[in-house]
Amino acid sequence: MSGTTIPRAPWVRPWRLLVVSALIFIPPAPAQDDSTIKVNVRLVRILATVKDAAGSLVGGLSKDAFEVSDNGAPQQISVFERQTDQPLSVAILIDNSGSTAKDLKYETDSVTRFVRALLREGNPDDSVALFSFNWEVVQRNRFTRDPSQIERSLRNLHGEAGTALYDAVLLVSREIEDRQGRKIIVVVTDGGDTVSKADFNRATEAAQIADAVIYPILVVPITNDAGRNVGGENALTTFAQRTGGRVFSPTLGTEMDRAFDQILRDLRTQYLLGFYPKDVPLSKNRYHTLQIGLRVPELHAIARSGYYGEALQDAAPAYAGSSTGPGGPVQGGETVRPKKPVPPKKTKGP
């Protein structure tokens, strides 16, 4: 496990985002009423996979096959690429909370096979990073093309304590935001969040800003609703829907391997669509709703459902809050949240 500190302080983020916004957004014309239209020159990127009526992946489509709208306004696709050969940065987040202890070995075995297959094929610049999360978030490996490094870290994992899922998604999204190419987050977990300082919306926004696609692998050891964290499962499904990924709910072993194989196929058959928002009707909500359609009725696209952009009134900074972010400064190769607090010593009464 690397012990090098990542020189990235979360308090820098709001300042940086505000300055960039000031430089790239063209001021609107004088407002006539509350339905002011602003022109936003920021390129919005969308990674999409396409399936037919039978659920099979569809490759080889042209730009003319797609239609994109932003808050209901049709947009012109300015950037179009088939992403099969574009480099991937895949961040694997594996839950090593106490509830995973008995199944962790089987999960890490499947992750190992996935990493080997990913790095054996595709673009020679594809890379993988490994993070674990329980009550703390730990970066086990920086981005690498050496599967043996990931495997060694996986073998050293053991389960304990709670689950900081939202903290993990937020901090990893910030960590991969500036990487080039496609950014993928694969989350392997058996349930919902229990101890995060960040909430679901904050984590989702960080993933959206990073242009990351989230693929949750939800290992459900309990088949009936009693005892299951249904709220946590719904949160994972929403992570996938809002970022353009898919959620899988396999059992251990063969089914989990099959889920990873489906993720690999998705990653090898993606399209990049990019547009510069124009004539978009704005509201006070910074969240813009995207719709990605196809001119062939029997085809449908899986892509992010929206992004954070301009609003009628200035919104709060994307990372407003504590100057150290949720739980403390981001570190590399060490815990990303502060050490577990030590209970105060008991004192005798008078």
- Main-chain dihedrals φ then ψ at residue 112, nearest 5 degrees: -60, -45
Both 130 and 220 in one domain: the answer is: yes
Q: Is residue 339 part of a domain?
A: no
Q: Which amino acid is at 314?
A: D
**What's the confidence (pLDDT) of residue 122?**
78
Q: In the predicted model, is pLDDT for residue 195 greater than 60? A: yes
Domain that holds residue 110: 88-267
pTM reported for the whole predicted model: 0.77
- Same domain as 140, residue 171: yes
Are 249 and 222 within 8 A, CB to CB? no
Number of domains, the chain: 2
Query: Are both 152 and 259 inside the same structural domain?
Result: yes
Residue at 336 is within a domain:
no
Both 281 and 259 in a single domain? no
Helix axes 200-209, 230-243, angle to 10 degrees: 20
Tens digits of residue pLDDT in 137-148? 999 999 999 999
Domain harbouring 149, CATH code: 3.40.50.410
Q: How confident is the model at residue 329 (pLDDT cuts 50, 70, 90)?
A: very low
Contact 305, 241 (CB under 8 A): yes
Identify whether 170 is part of a domain.
yes
Among residues 241, 267, 293, the one where a domain terminates is 267
Q: What is the residue-averaged pLDDT of the chain?
A: 80
Question: Above 60 in pLDDT, residue 221?
Answer: no
pLDDT at 33: 45
